[in-house]
């Protein structure tokens, strides 16, 4: 039940070490943005460092040339451009009857309604897939039976600046309890974080579910509401029994214990 996390941190390469520093040297759980970078550097991590690469700059340049398409914005104007963005006239039922005007980059208006939803929801983006994000989640059980889990990611490609996904959210991308086990997750974090799937996995195992059933249950809860989402979880109980579940893609994870010469890759199908 010790937690440390950082989000929206720039100029420091090793986010997982920064998160560990938050856990071990502060009474906080989550530090964000510029001050998270300042904290990490003040605690001895290298920086500030230019984290851009020739490959990432080329990808960004091509994206700009393509009018910043695709991106994660919705109900904005211009829909097919690089901005500055303003509210679309057809933005949302919430904005029906709104009186407002736009001047430069400022938006003025008055909220005048409410919206609700139920049943199956559409996925908010088609930008999440196995080839365009770099989440790594790892769980470890030591000789004493202590369990640790961590997740690190650069986030979704072409995300809106300032976006925080599920990576630093306890219970979403990772969760662990020495008495029960651990879980790690990857995929469409903007959807998955709404369900805290790793918390759900660990709590299901606490109630007696085997890892394979706990993982499948957590994924199915998301799929019932968002049938087009892409994501996966792995579950590991305190005895070392493990399993995975996925939706929208074929998922692989690796395991190794003290009796194994090399890692074993486990393939999980939807």
For residue 190, what are the contacts with CB-CB under 8 A and spacing of at least 6?
A: 72, 124, 125, 156, 163, 165, 166
CA separation for the pair 4, 170 (Å, rounded): 9
Which of 135, 151, 153, 157 is catalytic? The answer is 135
Does residue 157 carry a catalytic annotation?
no
Residues that are catalytic: 135
């Amino acid at each position: 039940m010790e937690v440390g996390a950082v989000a929206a941190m720039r100029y420091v390469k090793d986010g997982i070490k920064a998160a560990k520093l938050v856990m071990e040297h502060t009474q906080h759980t989550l530090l964000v943005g510029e001050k998270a970078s300042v904290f990490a550097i003040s605690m001895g991590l290298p920086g500030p460092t230019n984290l851009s690469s020739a490959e990432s700059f080329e990808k960004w340049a091509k994206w700009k040339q393509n009018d910043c398409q695709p991106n994660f914005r919705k109900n904005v104007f211009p829909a097919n451009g690089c901005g500055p963005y303003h509210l679309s006239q057809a933005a949302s039922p919430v904005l029906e009857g709104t009186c407002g005007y736009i001047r430069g980059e400022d938006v003025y208006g008055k909220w005048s309604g409410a919206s609700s939803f139920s049943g199956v929801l559409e996925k908010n983006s088609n930008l999440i897939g196995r080839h365009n994000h770099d989440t790594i989640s790892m769980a470890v059980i030591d000789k004493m039976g202590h369990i640790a889990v961590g997740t690190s990611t650069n986030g979704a490609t072409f995300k809106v600046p300032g976006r925080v996904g599920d990576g630093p959210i306890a219970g979403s991308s990772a969760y662990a309890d020495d008495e029960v086990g651990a879980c790690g997750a990857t995929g469409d974090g903007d959807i998955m974080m709404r369900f805290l799937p790793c918390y759900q996995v660990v709590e299901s195992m606490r109630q007696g579910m085997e890892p394979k059933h706990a993982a499948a249950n957590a994924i199915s809860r998301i799929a019932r509401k968002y049938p087009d989402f892409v994501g996966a979880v792995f579950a590991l109980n305190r005895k070392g029994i493990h399993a995975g579940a996925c939706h929208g893609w074929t998922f692989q994870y690796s395991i190794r214990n003290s009796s194994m010469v090399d890692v074993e890759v486990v393939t999980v199908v939807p």
